[in-house]
Amino acid sequence: MISKKVDSVSKALEGVKDNMTFMLGGFGLCGIPENSIAELVKRNVKRLTCISNNAGVDDFGLGLLLQKHQIKKMVSSYVGENDEFERQMLSGELEVELIPQGTLAERCRAAQVGLPAVYTPAGFGTEVAEGKETREFDGKMYVLEHAFKADFAFVKAWKGDEAGNLIFKGTARNFNPIMCGAAKVTVVEVEELLPAGELDPNQIHIPGIFVQRIFQGEKFEKRIEQRTVRNKK
């Protein structure tokens, strides 16, 4: 067994530098790498390019990096619910590339599995396809989208083992599995870090080969963005 375990978030983030490109898992605030984000804030690395479906809210998630002006460019599919983001974008401080969510997902996966590019119908005929190669297959039009290139992927999983094997929970899975191995270094924070052999090999969502470093997160706030409930009968 090849151990991927590191003892602290600080060790897990060794090597992060200004001007790097990061991938960050999560959908809204669900399944985001909270501990790694906190450490990035602490380290105050600057001029980052962040690939993440959303940009957090003003005071949580990637919003924390935005508040400190650490992000130069965001690559996302949806960036609402964040006033500071909107301010920085409209003022031109922040560069933003908006891409379809499925394209974001497939460009992550392409990087993970060594495919250079994919043809997707999403965005054909829209400004998303401007300047990109388009092509017809079987009478339908597709846009060529390239695999992402990133320095670090920050991932949040539910359970993990020392070998780096991961299990995600519910919709906190989202982009996390497909970012594993899609960057030069994949750093995973888990709620529960187990010895190798404790996870059923059949139930592993992502094998440890896609992970370079895994650590037990100190604290998971798991903030809820839209608390919707129904009344008990």
Partner 1 sequence: MSLTKQQIAQRIAKEVKDGYYVNLGIGIPTLVANYVREDISVEFQSENGVLGMGPFPFEGEEDADIINAGKQTITTLPGASFFDSSLSFGMIRGQHVDLTILGAMEVAQNGDIANWKIPGKMVKGMGGAMDLVSSAENIIVAMMHTNRAGKSKLLKECSLPLTGVQCVKKIVSNLAVLEVTPEGFLLLERAPGVSVEEIQAATEGKLIVNGDIPEMVV
Interactions with partner 1, residue window 89-108 (CB under 8 A): 89-90, 96, 98-106, 108
| The one among 120, 165, 174, 176 contacting a copy of itself by CB under 8 A | 120
What does the angle CA 194 – CA 200 – CA 166 come to, to the nearest 5 degrees? 55
Among 131, 170, 219, 229, binds a copy of itself (CB under 8 A): 170
For residue 91, the 8-state DSSP code is H
Q: Which of 8, 11, 192, 224 binds partner 1 (CB under 8 A)?
A: 224
* Residues 128-167, mask of contacts with a copy of itself (x by CB under 8 A): ---------xx-x-x---x--------------------x
Of 146, 117, 166, which Cα lies nearest the Cα of 51? 146
From a copy of itself, partner 1, none, which one binds at residue 190 (CB under 5 to 8 Å depending on kind)?
Answer: none
For the purposes of burial, counting CB atoms within 10 Å of the CB of 41, is it exposed (0-12), middle (13-18) or buried (19 or more)? middle
Inter-residue contact 73 to 97 (CB < 8 Å): yes
- What is the distance between the alpha carbons of residues 221 and 38, in angstroms, rounded to a whole number? 12
The site string for a copy of itself over 180-209 (x = CB under 8 A, - otherwise) reads ---------------------xxx------
Count of residues that bind a copy of itself according to CB under 8 A: 21
Contact flag: residue 228 with partner 1 (CB under 8 A): yes
d(CA 221, CA 155): 15
Q: What is the largest CA-CA distance in the chain?
A: 55
Single out the residue of 189, 186, 156, 148 nearest to residue 174, CA to CA: 156
Q: Is 165 in the site for partner 1 (CB under 8 A)?
A: yes
Question: Which one of 10-18, 39-47, 64-72, 161-169 is the stretch in contact with partner 1 (CB under 8 A)?
Answer: 161-169
167 contact choice in a copy of itself, partner 1, none (CB below 5 to 8 Å, kind-dependent) = a copy of itself
Q: Which stretch binds partner 1 (CB under 8 A): 42-50, 60-68, 131-139, 204-212?
A: 204-212
Which residues, listed in sequence order, are joined to residue 5 by a DSSP beta bridge? 214
3-state secondary structure of 28: coil
Select from 35, 67, 94 the least CA-distant residue to 221.
35
**What does 41 bind: partner 1, a copy of itself, none (CB cut-off 5 to 8 Å by kind)?**
none
Binding-site residue total for partner 1 (CB under 8 A)? Answer: 82
Q: Which residue has the tokens 């989202």?
A: 174
21 binding partner (options partner 1, a copy of itself, none; Cβ < 5 to 8 Å by kind): none
